[in-house]
Structures are given as structure tokens and as C-alpha cells.
Structure 1
Amino acid sequence: MSWFESFVLGLVQGLTEFLPISSSAHLRLTAAFADWNDPGAAFTAVTQIGTETAVLIYFRKDIARIVSAWFRSVVGKGERGDRDARMGWLVIIGSIPIGVLGLLLKGAIEGPFRDLRLIAATLVVMGLVLGFADRRAARDEGGGRHRAATQRKDLTDLDVKDGLIYGACQALALVPGVSRSGATISGGLLLGYTRESAARYSFLLAVPAVLASGVFELKDAGDGHTAWGPTALATLIAFAVGYAVIAWFMKFISTRSFMPFVVYRILLGLLLFALVSMGVLSPHAGESAG
């Protein structure tokens, strides 16, 4: 991988990690369209350390409060039923599905799951799911001619069952094209949470899973699949751009719907299907990266 490639891929990672459009799919597609080698699952996981560091800094007050309260609950010095301690436990519980499935499906994640036809399908299908969830949330919030608006839940309503469902949705993002934020936000909206609450828990839930995945993949960063220097550059760029995207996205969703992302996902997926069907792109374009 060249330094220019790492710069572009780091930029793509930072721009797409927190939007519900799938950063792993965009890294894969950028390489395929540019006729570069697929950067691989290890590169994706390591550069995500940069974007998750942006989460740690942006939500530093929330995270520090949650970690502190959780630790006090572990050593028996916290208040019973403390909301922040409870959130800490729910983040841990919600991280279990992706941790288990990530280890069990490692071979598929690094191979068959990166087929462009599968990515096209997941872009379209999950786009439709996000669109349905978003329309349902808008209907609840706006009410209608014959019914009042429905009060949607916030993170104080989160329980173990919902935490596990969120976690199962996050695990779907092991397939490129699904989108970690897209899947968890869709799950949250369908569970009845507000857009902001769904997005906030999605970001918090991603921290342990993504950091653990990135650290686990660090051992592959210098084995010929991923070079240390370009990967470090991409990670730094992903951090800086990712931080700006978080700040923008949290403001955006407070007043706007997810429909622009839904339309983008569906159009990109259909375009990808067309290009593969016409032979312009091979479904395995760039997979010689290994």
C-alpha cells in the first residue's frame, strides 16, 4: 500500500465510520474502483482505532462518568441502581454478540464476506431497513390526524433485553455493507428509541468492540498484508476526520431524518450490482491484497 492510498483510505474511513453507510464497504469499494488491492479486514480494524479514539474524546465526559460508576459498582462502593453504572454493564452485555461472532466468523469476514455482490445486497437491504425504521420514528414523533404523537424512549429506558438486541444488530456489521451505526441505529429506532438516543448508544456500544478488534488485528499490521507506516497515517487521518463527522452527525440527527443516507445506500448498492452484472467490476476485484 502506498502513502497516497493510505491517505485516501484514512479519509474514507473517517468520513464513513459514523454515518449509516458502512465504512468497511466504502474502503472495499474505494480500492475496487481505484484498482488498488483490497486493504483487508485487518487494515479496516486498525484504522477504526483512530475513529473510536475520536468517540472517546467526543464523549469523554459521558464515558468517564460511566466507567467510574461501573468500577464503583464492581468494588461494591457504588450506589445501587446508579444509572451510569447500569449503562456500563449494558455496554458490556451489548458487546458480547459481536465479540463471539467476530471470533467464530473471522475467516469469512476476511474472505467471502468481502464479495462485492454481497456488499451491494447489504447496502440495499439495510438501506430499506433504515428507511422503514426512520419513517416509523417520524410517524411516532409527528402523530397523525387521528392519533397523538407517541413518546419514544431515551437511554434511561434501556434494559438488558434491549441492550442484547442492540448488540445483535451491531454484530450484523461484521458483513461489509451493513454498517455498524446503521444496524444499531435501525435497531434502536425499531425498539422505540429517539434518533439521538439510538445514535448515542450506538457510538458507546462500538467502543469496546472496535478497540478490541483493532488491538487483536495489530499483530497483522506488519506481516505483509498491512504496512505499519501507511496504516498509522490512515489511522491518524481517520481520527481527525472522524471527530469532525461525529460533531456534525449528532447535530444533524437532532433535526433531520436518515432518509438522505437511505437513498444513498440504495443507489450505491444498485450501481454496484449493475457494474458487477455488466462485467465492469469483478465481484472479487482487488482481492489479491493478501
Structure 2
Amino acid sequence: MYEIFKALIIGIVQGLTEFLPVSSSGHIELFKVMLGLDLEGDQNLLFTLTLHTATALSTLVVFRKEVGEILVGLVKGKNEAIDFTLKIIVSMIPAALVGYFMKDTIEKLFSGNILLVGCMLLLTALLLLLAGRAKKTKKDIGFIDSFIIGLSQAVAILPGVSRSGATIATSVILGNDRSKTAMFSFLMVIPLIFGAMAKDLLDADTLHFSNEMLSSLSAGFIGAFIFGIIACRWMVALVRNAKLWYFSIYCAIIGTIAVVYTLF
């Protein structure tokens, strides 16, 4: 029962931090250490896939109207829908290349390296601070902007760098419209998540799990899905109202605590 509770807590953390600009990977590593959650091999793969599936689905729930319009537009051959889709594809290129060619190196970084997490949280704090000072505009995201935002997403593979924080901050600093930036940031990662999930499932041997593991997976999924919807909607409002600097302070505090903890 205690393991199920741990899974629920990690799921809630995943749901909140996947969208809020505070680094989901960094917080997951911190909470795994604090809760003593030790998953290896198939169990760790299953748990990770479950949490990411939950947050990807929560994104689709929040932006179901926009996604529906894009899909209908693609079928009808509308230029706006085609243009948006191509920009999403361009934004995926950097992270896809990094994930494919540097997967083993990246996985070694996710091993309770609290010092790295702390340093990267401080970097996230700086990005959010700069974005908070950027002027509001109505500028559309261009193809070059899409690639630069994609580079930020690639850097955010590091634990402690917030994916949403890095991509949203980069887009805002580039002078793009805040409302469009939030939607673009959250939708651009969905193809990567499902692509990575498919690859991991194909590469993995037959996955086995007990009834207790199934209960833990269910708890983690529910926590991540429900709180993912809440955090996604909240984040859209925060980006629109230029309040990213709140999270800059938070990341700076948590990052400093993590660095001090490892050094002393």
C-alpha cells in the first residue's frame, strides 16, 4: 500500500511539473530520492511510460478544440493548419536527434545526480527571469523561431531544465505571442513523447508486472492525468499574464537548496 502511495505522489509531481516551468525530470529525481522509490529495468520503463502517457493525454484534453481544428484543417488542406504542423515538425528535430544519438549518455544523468539538478534549476530560473521581463507582442512563431525553440527543448532533456520553462521562455524572449507560445510549447512535445514510448516498447523485452505494480501504475497515471490538466490550464493563464517570474524565484530556491545539500 505504501508503494502505491509513493506512486501516486510521483504521479502528482509529474502532472504538476510537466507543465509548470519547474522541471518535471528534476523534481521526479528529487522525490524519488526523498521517498526512497527505487525502480529498475522493466518496472522503471513501465512507470515512466505510464506517467508520460498520462500527461500527454492531459495536454490533448486541454487543447482538444485546437487539436481538432488542426486535424480538420489538415484534411481540408488549409494553409494555416499545414503551416502549424510543419513548424511543430521543425521544432522536434533537435530533441529527436539528441534523444536518438545520445540516449545512453542522457540516461546516465538520471541517477539521483542532485548537484546537476540543482545547477540546471538555477539555469531555468535565469531563463524565466529574462522571459518575465520580455515585452508582450502579437508576433506569430516563425520557422526559424520553431527551430530555436526546439533547441531549447533538446537542452531541457537534462534533469533540472524545465522543458515547458525553456521552450516558453525562449519563445517569449524571441518576441512571440504569449498565448500562442503556451499552446505551441505543450503540443510540440506530444509527438516526441509517443515516438519515444513506441521506440522503448519495441526495444524492450516482454514486460512483466505484478498486481501490486499494476496498482502503482494506475495510481501514478491518475495522479499525473488529473493534476496535468489542472497545471496545463493554470500555466496557459500564467504565460498570458506574464507571471513566469514567480517560478523563477521557486526554481532559484529549490536549485540552491539542492546544490547546498550535495556540497555540505
* TM superposition score normalised by structure 2: 0.87
Shift of 1:218: 4.1
* 1:193-272 map, 5 Å: 193-218=176-201, 222=207, 227-272=213-258
User: Quick one: structure 1 residues 197 and 109, their matched pair in 2 at CA, closer, same or farther if it must change by over 3 Å?
Assistant: same
Of 33, 42, 47, 1:43 maps to 47
Cα gap change, 1:100/1:164 in structure 2, threshold over 3 Å: closer, same or farther? same
The separation in 1 between residues aligned to 2:198 and 2:250, in whole angstroms, is 32
**Quick one: distance in 2 between partners of 1:42 and 1:171?**
23
Residue of structure 1 equivalent to 2:25: 24
Q: What residue ranges of structure 1 are gaps of 5+ in the alignment?
A: 73-77, 142-151, 279-290
User: Any idea what SS the aligned residue of 2:156 has?
Assistant: helix
Match for 1:95 among 85, 92, 95? 92
Q: How far off is 1:67 after superposition? A: 2.3
Higher-Rg member (1/2)? 1
Question: Which runs of 5 or more residues in structure 2 are unaligned?
Answer: none
Measure the CA separation in 1 of the matches of 2:32 and 2:241: 34
1:38 deviates by 6.1
Q: How does 1:143-158 map to 2 (within 5 A)?
A: 152-154=137-139, 157-158=140-141
Letter in 1 for 2:5: F
Deviation at 1:86, TM superposition (A): 0.8
TM-score by length of 1: 0.80
Contact kept in structure 2, 1:70 and 1:89, CA below 8 Å: no
Asked if 1:110 corresponds to 2:107, the answer is yes
Q: Which amino acid is the alignment partner of residue 256 of structure 2?
A: L
The amino acid that maps onto 2:127 is V
Establish whether residue 9 from structure 1 lines up as the match of residue 28 from structure 2: no
Q: Distance in 2 between matches of 1:248 and 1:167?
A: 23
Which structure 2 residues correspond to residues 61-100 of structure 1 after superposition, within 5 A?
61-72=65-76, 78-79=77-78, 82-100=79-97
Structure 2 residue identity aligned to 1:85: I
What amino acid is the match of 1:69?
G
Counterpart residue type for residue 164 of structure 2: S
- For residues 130-158 of structure 1, what are the alpha-carbon distances to aligned partners after superposition, in whole Å with 9 as ceiling and x for unaligned? 211221x1xx34xxxxxxxxxx244xx22
For residues 95 and 163 of structure 2, what CA distance do their matches in structure 1 show? 10
2:122 aligned partner = 124
Q: Is the 8 A contact 1:53 1:239 kept in 2?
A: yes
How many residues end up aligned between the 2 structures? 255
Aligned twin of 1:33: 34
Deviation at 1:25, TM superposition (A): 0.8
SS class of match (1:257): coil
CA RMSD, 1 decimal: 2.3
In structure 2, how many angstroms separate the alpha carbons of the residues matched to 1:247 and 1:33?
Answer: 28
- 1:72-98 C-alpha deviation (Å, 9 max, x unpaired): 4xxxxx24xx11221011111211211
Tell me which residue corresponds to 1:160. Answer: 143
**CA offsets 1:222-246 (integer angstroms, 9 cap, x no match):** 368xx45422431232111111121
Q: In 2, are the aligned partners of 1:41 and 1:110 still within 8 Å (CA)?
A: no
Give the whole-Å Cα distance in 1 for the aligned partners of 2:249 and 2:208. Answer: 39
Change (3 A) 1:233 1:215: farther
